[in-house]
Amino acid sequence: MIAVPLPQIGRELGLQRHDLVLLSTAYGLAFAGLLLFGGRLADRYGGRRTLVAGLALFATASAAAPFSSGIELLLVARFAQGTGAALVAPAAMAVLRAAVPSLAAYGKAMATWGGLSVLGATAGNLLAGVIVSLLSWRWTFVVPLAVAVGALALTSRLLPRTAPDPDRTLDLPGALLAAAGTTLASYGLVLTDARPWSSVGVLVPLLGGATLLTAFLYSERCVRDPLLPARFLLERKRALALAAIALSACGTSMTFVVLSFYLQQTRDWSPLQTSAAFVPFAFALLASGRAAGPLIVRYGARALTTAGLGTAAAGLALLAATGLDAHTPYAYGLLPGLVLLPVGTAASFGGAAVLATQGVPQQQTGLAGGVMNSAMELGPTVLFALLLTLDGDAWSLAATGAALAVAALLNHRTD
């Protein structure tokens, strides 16, 4: 929900562009860094128990964020939100697996989940524009707080208990190395928006993060129950699915942030007008997400993933071709891309979610959820920071579209 209010937050708190980029990615840094550990916690202690813990942390962070007088507390709150979400996301998949024991029904449920997975963030950004226009950006955190509190109240009544696995050990050193390495490397990438790649401030976190991630990969070979078993990612189908999820999520995130700044700063639109501009995006996303399950049954998950990536790439290409200047018309300049992109994104998410979880045993459902959501969050965090170093927002959208097109080609050639 923070993409639309970012310009207002920057003005009120006196933040620079790189501060806003860090604020935008702080949630993703914590989320991506801790998702694998969150998945293992769900497998070890049970999905419902982990879900409750994550929701409680997420609600606490959301309640603290509106009281920020500077970037420090707001950053801490965003990191805490990401940490809570890192527990919630894989735990929710573990609970879903327990609620839908049939493999065929679970596959259909995953197709729907994947197709609609970005709808929550989209709806949040639309609602944020309304709230900012009527009240203040601080009130935008009331919505996730209310959702988390409501989910906590309903969890014990509606969700089944999931059995813990007391024999599973927790790879704490691996979790620390993965979280620290991912966060440090991503932070270095974020700084490239304001500093050259050769600067000490960029090289130190990048090299430090790379060193920690290398140590993580080595440590995983030496423990009995690794946080991320190497064989889990060796299957080509799963690897391509995770790449598709990462790139699709990057395209959506890039579009929201770039167009939010463009419409409010270049076009001088209000937050409410900016949110209204994304309404067709939300409807297209909803329609495509609902259609993902039946289409997968008819044509197969890989075919839908490939078609979705190609469609999303075409949508980004149309947005980039407009140039994003002060005179770009909305109806026939932005709107075609804002419809094609979500149609393709929801389709690729739906197909890739099925491919990424096929053949996963029930005792590794949390791990599968952690890996899949890591791709969903780490992709935008890393690629977003890289693409913003390009000269111009339109070039960033074009590069993202090209990456999606390459991913579609790879999926097609391995069919």
What is d(CA 222, CA 226) in angstroms, rounded to the nearest whole number?
8
DSSP state of 141: G
Question: Encoding tokens for residue 199?
Answer: 């600067």
Is the distance from CB of 112 to CB of 304 less than 8 angstroms?
no
pLDDT of 395: 47
Between the two ends of the chain, the Cα-to-Cα distance in Å is 37
Give the closest residue to 162 by CA, choosing from 366, 381, 386.
366
Domain ranges of the chain: 6-160+227-413, 172-226
Say whether domain 6-160+227-413 belongs to CATH 1.20.1250.20: yes
Q: For the chain, how many residues are written?
A: 415
Is the distance from CB of 180 to CB of 377 less than 8 angstroms?
no
The per-residue DSSP string of 356-381 comes to HHTT--GGGHHHHHHHHHHHHHHHHH
What is d(CA 39, CA 37) in angstroms, rounded to the nearest whole number?
5
Give, for all 415 residues of the chain, the pLDDT tens digit: 666 677 778 788 877 766 777 777 778 778 777 877 887 788 778 778 888 899 999 999 999 988 888 888 888 898 899 899 888 888 887 777 777 666 566 666 666 665 556 656 666 666 777 777 778 878 888 888 888 888 888 877 767 676 666 666 677 788 788 888 877 887 777 676 667 777 887 788 889 888 998 888 888 777 777 777 767 766 777 778 888 888 888 777 777 777 877 787 778 887 778 778 888 888 888 888 778 778 887 888 888 888 888 888 888 888 877 777 777 788 888 888 888 888 888 888 888 888 877 777 666 666 777 777 777 776 666 666 666 555 555 545 555 555 565 555 555 555 5
What is d(CA 358, CA 337) in angstroms, rounded to the nearest whole number?
32
Work out whether the CA dihedral 186, 190, 196, 200 comes out positive or negative. negative
Work out whether the CA dihedral 230, 94, 40, 75 comes out positive or negative. positive
What is d(CA 389, CA 199) in angstroms, rounded to the nearest whole number?
14
What is d(CA 353, CA 164) in angstroms, rounded to the nearest whole number?
24
